[in-house]
């Protein structure tokens, strides 16, 4: 069974990025959202995937919390 659309991060939606910033206890700022977009692209390359799940992105954030303020 495939993943539900809601399980993937939509990097063009600020509210989805803000969710991850809140979860990581980081500031909801444009700089942090841009950093998450960069991290998302890195993760896609690392996983050789076109899309990233919320769980995958959160794990990547936990590995590198110093990148966000």
Q: Distance between CA 29 and CA 31 in Å, rounded?
A: 5
Q: Which residues contact 29 (CB under 8 A, 6 or more apart)?
A: 21, 69
pLDDT per residue as tens digits for the range 6-28: 899 999 999 999 999 999 999 99
What's the whole-model pTM score?
A: 0.92
> If you average pLDDT over residues 60-68, what whole number do you get?
97
Residue 44 has pLDDT above 70, yes or no: yes
């Amino acid at each position: 069974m495939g993943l539900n659309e809601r399980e993937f991060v939509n990097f063009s939606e600020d509210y989805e990025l803000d969710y991850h910033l809140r979860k990581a206890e980081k500031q909801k700022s444009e700089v942090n959202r841009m950093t998450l977009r960069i991290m998302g692209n890195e993760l896609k390359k690392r996983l050789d995937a076109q899309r990233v799940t919320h769980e995958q992105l959160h794990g990547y954030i936990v590995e590198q919390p110093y990148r966000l303020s």
